[in-house]
Amino acid sequence: MFLTSTQRGGARIVSVKAERIDAAVAIQFKEDMRVETEGGPDRVILNLSDVSFIDSSGLGAIVAAMKQLGAGRRLDLAGLRPMVDKVFRLTRMDTVFTLFPSLEDAMAELEG
């Protein structure tokens, strides 16, 4: 599988170990996110620092992963590389998610 997760502070950190989140893996991604985040802390941080490319199918899968967390839980995104960041800005999804430059920045907000 291409997701790994750890717990740090009060957050579940899910890291994507793949270069692309695209149409070929979008459904699998959503399902794996469900498994990785089930029953964990309310805050989930998705670490995208290994991902260099995402398409609209991948974006939709991240939105789906956020929705399936349910009320009271949140999904933050960290480590967006330039083309990934661009997809979020062009679709205005940067207004829906909180984007952090790195996992450390996301953790700093948690601890600070």
Partner 1 sequence: MSHHSSHSFKANERTVRDGITTVMSQLRARGLADQHAGDVELALVEVVNNVVEHGYAGLGGGLIHIDAQLSATGLDLCVSDFGRPLPGGHVPPMQAVDLDCPRAALPEGGFGWSLIHQLTDVLRYERRGTRNTLLMRFFLTGPRRKRQRSAPPAP
Encoding tokens for residue 39? 């029953």
What ranges make up the beta strands (E) of 1-112?
3-8, 11-16, 20-21, 43-47, 53-54, 74-78, 99-100
Q: Which of 28, 41, 50, 57 binds partner 1 (CB under 8 A)?
A: 57
Check binding of 107 to partner 1 (CB under 8 A).
no
Q: Near partner 1 by CB under 8 A, which window of 8-16, 32-40, 59-67, 98-106?
A: 59-67
Q: Which of 2, 31, 93, 109 binds partner 1 (CB under 8 A)?
A: 93
* Residue closest to 82 by CA, chosen among 65, 105, 99, 95: 99
Residues forming beta bridges with residue 16, ordered by sequence position: 3
Check binding of 34 to partner 1 (CB under 8 A).
no
**Least distance to partner 1, CB of residue 79, Å:** 17
